[in-house]
Amino acid sequence: MVRRIAIIPARAGSKRVPGKNIRDFCGKPMIAHILETARESGLFEIIHVSTESEAVRGVVSGLGFAPDFARPAELADDVTPLVPVLRWTVGEYQRRGRDFDQAWLLMACAPLIRPEHLQAMARRFAELGRNCQALVAVQPFASPIQRGYFLGQDHRLLPVQPECVTARSQDLVPAYHDAGTVDVYDARFLLSEREADWSGRCHGYVLPRHAAVDIDNEDDWRLAEMIFRGQSGR
């Protein structure tokens, strides 16, 4: 049996959307949606909210997901990447006698992820076997990146790849970006601190577009609300 932990980072210091992790989203604290999805998936031995915030801890405890321990302050600033947070959390559980085969990163602001998406990613991770150390939820760019532009100081458009500006979209190789919602890691590899070895061993899982809104600003928030209400008939 595969032992999985879901880790949901939820700092208190969001600048672009203040308090977004516990702000009301369609009738519930935002973080409640991914917590319920994780529980309904039936995949996880532990669902852990990684936070330094007493306010976040109070909200998730009230939802039945009290964290076993707090995130250290040195891992809760604006510049700390998420992989060290995952590594520290898995290591802390290991120090407490709990080992896992997989560590899942579930973003607190991913209310459109459903249990079936997580279950499908678990199946894909198993199918890929030992050559896969990480599985990242991705989305295709809305428009071919080869036909993108930089914006010059005088607002002049500067083609990223001038030779592709007039190419047909269907003739260009699709490119993908991190959806900012779900990652799956082999726990032993995560603890090995050998990120340089990840090249070629990290795979992508393409999420449906309606499930992959990465909420970084108020426009993203409103779009996610519209999709959520449309799906639930509200």
CATH number (domain holding residue 14): 3.90.550.10
The Cβ of residue 75 has, within 10 Å, a number of other Cβ atoms equal to: 18
Q: What is the pLDDT of residues 107-152, one digit of tens each?
A: 999 999 999 999 999 999 999 988 889 999 999 998 899 999 999 9
Residue range of the domain that includes 41: 4-138+175-232
Could you tell me if residue 63 is inside a domain? yes
Could you tell me if residue 118 is inside a domain? yes
The token pair that represents 117 in the structure block: 């998406």
pTM over 0.95: no
Maximum Cα interatomic distance, the chain, rounded to a whole number of Å: 59
Q: What is the pLDDT of residues 77-116, one digit of tens each?
A: 888 889 999 999 999 999 999 999 999 999 999 999 999 9
Could you tell me if residue 166 is inside a domain? no
Q: CA torsion 92→81→205→139, rounded to 10°?
A: 150
Rounded to whole angstroms, the Cα distance separating 176 from 141 reads 6
Q: What are phi and psi of 228, to 5 degrees?
A: -60, -45
